[in-house]
Structure 1
Amino acid sequence: MKRLMLALVLASAVPPTFAVLPAVAATPTQDLAQVSAYIRQVSSLTADFSQTDRNGQTLTGKLTLKQPGKIRFQYQKGVPLLIVGDGKALTVIDYEVRQVQRWPIGSSPLGALIDPKRDLSKFGKVVQTGDPNVLTVEASDPKRPEFGTITLVFNRKASAPAGLELYGWVARDAQSNRTAVRLTNHRYGADIPDSAFRWRDPRPVSRPSH
């Protein structure tokens, strides 16, 4: 289970085709600019997610995102795990074993999605899918391969921010552990309080000996 979480934090799915707006041929530079525009325009997003690891195990839950840098993965009932980004760090909380692990936002491929100030052209590239209605971008830092890669998959949709809807992504860590995330029921622009990105620390409080 923990490997599943770390693959998400440290890391190509192509969605099925359905009717969307007619696609217009664009250059990779224009596609990257469109993705950057999407990231800047999405001030907040909530969605349902399903997450599948390389063994085919699937978990579901709710995603909450607020720019800049805040994200929360609330897993289905019975899964004692939580992932929260508070704008500075990405934290994995395992309530079953009372462990907490933290990484700077910039050290996770998810930073490509929740940091509007990052220049996507410096670490992202368009991956051709053969479907003009699907835009796929792979992001990684070639100087820090241990951070893994994330492949963002978008559907072109006229009514969505910047004409794109985030279908999901695939995260792959340095050990090639692969985790795919699919989003549904997107809801944009909700007023999300910062308290949504707080979490309860399960670690026991150490008390001084007498």
Structure 2
Amino acid sequence: MKRMIAPLALVLAAAPLVVPALPAAAQQEQSDLAKVNAYIRAVTTMTADFSQTDRNGQTLTGQLTIKQPGKIRFQYQKGVPLLIVGDGKALTIIDYEVRQVQRWPIGNSPLGALVDPSKDLSKLGKIVPTGDPSILSVQARDPRRPEFGTISMIFKRDPGSPAGLQLYGWVALDSQNNRTAVRLTNQRYGVPVADSAFRWVDPRPKGRSAGG
């Protein structure tokens, strides 16, 4: 045990401030998480083609549109009567075939980590080793609300993209253990996107235009 050899104020004034160094791996993880945070905050708008595969192996395609904060739209291929829209507050799934609408706060979805620039991935995320230095994988989940599910975002390091990263896709696991994998191509950043893109038509009886 250290002995008191001087008043505390004098000891603090005389002693240099020593900050323990983080291990190299921990430093790299914090650096990569910071880059992902920077990417999410730098992307004001994005469009991309997507390919979505569910846990049963069914694959659907379509176009993804993102507008920060919180707006996202999955427009599925022709002939698929589904639409997913996030209007900044809620995430809505519309099934036009059965005239069903499901809606919940977007923060309660794994996608919240992707479209909410206020989230701090240093607290919600961890780096998942990929074995490829050009590929960065981040798994995000809210430890206080595990029922919101998890999302594993996959990025390619690309100096020409926002924050030096290109979003390649993600794997989402919801509270019912439904696994959905999404792969992106033809990403375009900073394109004009109208707020009307995140509106939808309610298919239920006596429906009305919604989401805007």
Common fold: TM-score over 0.5? yes
What SS does the aligned partner of 1:27 have?
helix
TM-score by length of 1: 0.84
| Equivalent residue number for residue 53 of structure 1 | 54
What SS does the aligned partner of 1:192 have?
coil
Does 1 or 2 have the higher relative contact order (CA < 8 Å, sep 6+)? 1
Instruction: Provide the C-alpha distance between the structure 2 equivalents of 1:38 and 1:143, rounded to a whole number of angstroms.
Output: 24
Which runs of at least 4 in structure 1 moved beyond 3 Å after TM superposition? none
| Equivalent residue number for residue 129 of structure 2 | 128
1:1-210 equivalent positions in 2, closer than 5 A: 27-205=28-206
- Aligned-CA RMSD value: 1.3
Instruction: Provide the C-alpha distance between the structure 1 equivalents of 2:57 and 2:120, rounded to a whole number of angstroms.
Output: 34
Which structure 1 residue ranges, 5 or more long, are not aligned? 1-24
Shift of 1:57: 0.8
2:150–2:172: 8 Å Cα contact kept in structure 1? yes
Shift of 1:187: 0.7
Instruction: Provide the C-alpha distance between the structure 1 equivalents of 2:122 and 2:102, rounded to a whole number of angstroms.
Output: 30
Deviation string, structure 1 residues 14-34 (Cα, Å, up to 9, x no partner): xxxxxxxxxxx9610000000
TM-score by length of 2: 0.83
Which structure 2 residue ranges, 5 or more long, are not aligned? 1-24, 208-212
What amino acid is aligned across from residue 38 of structure 1 in structure 2? Y
In the alignment of these two chains, the number of paired residues is 182
What SS does the aligned partner of 1:158 have?
coil
What amino acid is aligned across from residue 82 of structure 2 in structure 1? L
Instruction: Provide the C-alpha distance between the structure 1 equivalents of 2:64 and 2:94, rounded to a whole number of angstroms.
Output: 16
Instruction: Provide the C-alpha distance between the structure 2 equivalents of 1:105 and 1:111, rounded to a whole number of angstroms.
Output: 6
Shift of 1:174: 2.6
Instruction: Provide the C-alpha distance between the structure 1 equivalents of 2:175 and 2:105, rounded to a whole number of angstroms.
Output: 17
Shift of 1:122: 1.3
What amino acid is aligned across from residue 32 of structure 1 in structure 2? L
What SS does the aligned partner of 2:119 have?
coil
Max radius of gyration: which structure? 2
What amino acid is aligned across from residue 90 of structure 1 in structure 2? L
